[in-house]
Chains A and B, each alone.
Chain A
Amino acid sequence: MSIIVNVDVMMAKRKMSSQELAEKIGITAANLSILKTGKAKAVRFSTLEAICQALDCQPGDILEYRADEEE
């Protein structure tokens, strides 16, 4: 996947656990894990908004585009 989700980095900066973040943004810990491990196919804007609110950051802080090696 070319879009990398760097939620871990922001969570470490804000000293927040996965369980805490999941509760704040209203998703399950399993879904948060899917997001962190890059298995998610898509993210809703409402979820992105909730993550940015909870971690007090910009979307650019947690989303990164990395061109595939094949491309």
Chain B
Amino acid sequence: MKKKLRLYCGLLTLVLVAAIVCDLVHVSYSNSTDKEREELYFGKEPDEFSTTEEIEGGVRRKSKPTMCIDVNVQARHYPKDYALLSEVDGQVCRVDMKQVSLAIPADRVTQSKPFIITYCSIIPNVLLLGWLVVIVFQVLRSVARREVFVARIAKKLELAGILLVAYWVWEYIRSYIVTQILVQYVNLAYYDIKWFTPNFICLIMGLALMIVSQIILMGKELQEEQELTI
């Protein structure tokens, strides 16, 4: 048991170092198609984004529900040194977009490969989180019954930690795969698609839970020793 505790503490230290290093490292991808980029422009929303219904006195436009995918972006060099500008407290400042949300009408999602792949890749995340919620309820129920320092609780907490680690690992893989797919399909003028490593907080919490599970096992041993002291 102490071996496991040492292993988990070692992993947590490594992850904390990696979290700091990864904050300094980013990877950007340019759209590699030969298609000419369109300009970014403000325009009238296409008709497929809304429906019209007749009302007394005329026609009413109603927006259709949309589904979105979030894309991390990084500005490339604008032509003729142009930039998106705004003002803050009287000072001109440059507007840098970090993330955009690409939306299409919900009824067109099944016709769009990047949308299908993005949404299907979230299914394992949902399953992992669902399992985690079940475990949390089981642990809370045991604690309510005053069963705290028992091997069963320690195992459940260890499993919860492993699930959080697995969630982060899958999110890491998923974000990379989705970014590679988006690079092929998304044509965004002046912006490159950027891949960020997922937030390390899930990984850190998972390892912390695994450490806590070992501490609970140690507590169980101490409790047994105390109970078996005549």
Q: 1/0 per position for B192-230, CB-CB distance to A under 8 A?
A: 000000000000000000000000000000001100111
CB-CB under 8 A from A31, the residues of chain B are 230
Interface SS, B side: mixed
Q: 1/0 per position for A32-59, CB-CB distance to B under 8 A?
A: 1011000111111001000000000000
Q: How large is the interface on B (under 10, 10 to 19, 20 to 34, 35 or more residues)?
A: under 10
Name A28's closest neighbour in chain B (CB-CB).
Answer: B230
Supply 15 further A-B pairs (C-beta < 8 A) apart from A35-B230, A41-B229, A43-B230: A27-B230, A31-B230, A32-B230, A34-B228, A34-B230, A39-B228, A40-B228, A40-B229, A40-B230, A41-B225, A41-B228, A42-B225, A42-B228, A42-B230, A44-B229
Q: Which of A27, A32, A35, A41 contacts B224 (CB 8 A)?
A: A41
Minimum distance in angstroms from B198 CB to a CB of chain A: 46
Q: 1/0 per position for A7-46, CB-CB distance to B under 8 A?
A: 0000000000000000000010001101100011111100
Give bound CA distance, A44 to B228, whole Å: 11
Give bound CA distance, A42 to B225, whole Å: 8
Q: How large is the interface on A (under 10, 10 to 19, 20 to 34, 35 or more residues)?
A: 10 to 19
Q: Mind listing 14 A-B residue pairs with CB under 8 Å?
A: A27-B230, A31-B230, A32-B230, A34-B228, A34-B230, A39-B228, A40-B230, A41-B225, A42-B225, A42-B229, A43-B229, A43-B230, A44-B230, A47-B230
Give bound CA distance, A42 to B224, whole Å: 11
Minimum distance in angstroms from B74 CB to a CB of chain A: 62
CB-CB under 8 A from A32, the residues of chain B are 230
CB-CB under 8 A from B228, the residues of chain A are 34, 39-42
CB-CB under 8 A from A44, the residues of chain B are 229-230
Minimum distance in angstroms from B229 CB to a CB of chain A: 4
Give bound CA distance, A47 to B228, whole Å: 13
